[in-house]
Structure 1
């Protein structure tokens, strides 16, 4: 037999043997099938897409993995870990993301440059797909119910995720740290399914730290109906009008056990899109160095060095106008805020909102921990008036308000500096800590704390302060589990007895009173409406609008009214409490929440009345049931009779989108 033919036979037998040995446990190796725009680099780097628009790429382990012992059996436990990087062609503009995929086939036909390379417009959502995927999504697609443009999701036969969360991880202390999927950093993802407990856990973290104890996502669900006895495992990705290079640097997989730890010392290098430009610049400098005389080169270096110094100095130039002197104690220098947040580094991000990001910082002068909200200034309001309001709010002192320490303005940005709350927001406790469940006692105290803060803003301060954005994300928890209302970036001031002026609509959809959407006039009554929704959310442990809930439960307030009408209002209380709550208090919170969030402003109580109701003196009105179920306020004017049908979402100008973290 010829030597060349012998070598081919040996390679075939080695390949065949490895296929059987490693079919249910393997590490990143050469036994892969590649489709579409994907390719394998000789260094061991997998690239799913390139800079071509509307392209898809797939890489699968070429042998099927046995997930069930028999047809109709249960899916076995499995675990996979992989390291990935997403490098966008243009900074901050990703397209579209990638997904770890369990598929019936190692070829996904009919998937265009979209839908992460998994589906198309006709089969999206079909139960016949039998695809289970974990998406790392860098584009916000409203058609798929995406929560943002930087999230992780669990997908079953569709990109409408059954669970999703903004990218990040939980420290061992329970603090949430945000991560940016599309900044080119190498990140690691774990996907683990417990076949006994029927639970799927997804954990994301930077490669420089150990795997967090708390998963980013958990879904208790039997995967058996969605998977065949044998399935293919791999990765899928796609690009749109904007493109990203999606890389897999290392990968391990195992059934009935934990996937092998990945060797970080052997990771291939990620090519950057500007590598060629960098090489060109280096070559240019070499030419200049050879051709310029020593004197000329020295002159060039002096000029460049001087330009750098001037640029750095201009970066922190402060423009203090005469009228700002009166607010001096409340103004921080941009240089101090910049240093405090380490130059607004991504790893210092505490959270994101429609107005901007919130960063953790340490003031260099005092080593005091602070939270810095970085927002773009609204040009429809004069900078002078805005700063005057911020300075006024900075003088507020109440145990249930997050203290606003001051502000900083730089170019077209405003930076608000607050006290730092180590336990984070109430939103995190309700939706992002799977192993942390607030007791009823804690929830009732939080409700009273926020009510006390609003009563102070509406009726106890020398001016009326309308918060305009009451929701769990803006309620922060201190180290003693006390609730503090924060984020006054939207707050409005008006004198006692005077109506606030009409302005553009601001707030969060789901918490906005109907008259605010229609007329654009915020008032203490619109705050009370949002507080009412907040009460219902705390008691029921779910968001005001849940698109994936049954139709009769999609709108929280309507569902509660229906249950009340059936004589079982307590059926809406958060099931995680396992009926460990005070019945009288739970009924009070639910009914008071409906009272406060009535569609007609004139029906809603004041915050002083709310405080009295929460204290049990007096009781809620005897005719409250009929008032709530009527859905109209008798004798009200046409302006007051706002119904759900009048409240057209299309007519709203919303400054921060209402989103569900469950996609």
Structure 2
């Protein structure tokens, strides 16, 4: 069997497939580098600056950068954020009120590649006031970092941070609490605490030991600094207008990675309890800045070249020939494959037919007998088709005897002549005559 045409077709097809796949492999290899770059890391910083919340400021009256939930409002008269706002606190039932003031855009506070939390620092001035003569109120204010901007928790000791449904709510909070709730682990009614996804603080500081009281209606300022690389937090507290204290009121190692998503929302949450002497939590100013690592994404060179080629073809007057598309390459490969398979199929049929004819010639070609042999009557009977009249070649009727000459074909294909004699001829003297039988 000659398979050289089929082999040539297969070699040509294999070469074309290799040439087509090689650019695709190179493109895929190039894609893995251009679209998943391991570029250098850089620090991304975000700054928020609210020196006050006066409605005459450039922010306008609606403060579109802030989102207010529940009983949180901006007091146009005082230019502060109030939780609850003064009109709500003067209502008949000022108890169990809760609200949030959240920066409306998410801030990147976690790098998922290095699993490193952002470093941030925030400072804000605040004041607790009441509408009654009494100087004691509750419950408190908290600076929060939450995963969304629309969740608001329960009032009272929860400070609007969590509710009963927030079992796995990733929220970080620093609370400034003016109510003593022993069931929540509060040391007294004048303390700060760090909360990690829970209403119970894992770390607290008694403000009385630092001679600080949040009940005296004075304006205080808090400084919260978190180092994401060293995973450590420092909290300072003092009177507004004074420099930052040299010693933090609360300092602790803290890994915020389990409680941070890549993007989080920052702001404030506050609530009141069941006392008629509840506080109004006023936020007078607020600054926030964060720094997080990020990898630089290098734009794909292939995409840039494709865009340039598209613009050139769009605005150029000269004809531009595009490279063949993947569909055309696929059609060409399909046609070549079909031609190769058909060539292989017909070559096999031709070879099988030649082999069959050669086999038939070998088996069926008549072979002349090398030496005389005796044939049986059955062989002659079959060869002459039972001495059929159609096989008769000649008839001889002499001396009262009859002989008939038949045409015959043996099983191996040899043509023979068979002469059949009558019984009278076998007993006649002519049998001995050599000329009678030819």
Rg larger in structure: 2
| TM-score normalised by the chain length of structure 2 | 0.49
Larger % of strand: which?
A: 2
Which fold has the larger relative contact order, with Cα–Cα distance below 8 Å and residues 6 or more apart in sequence? 2
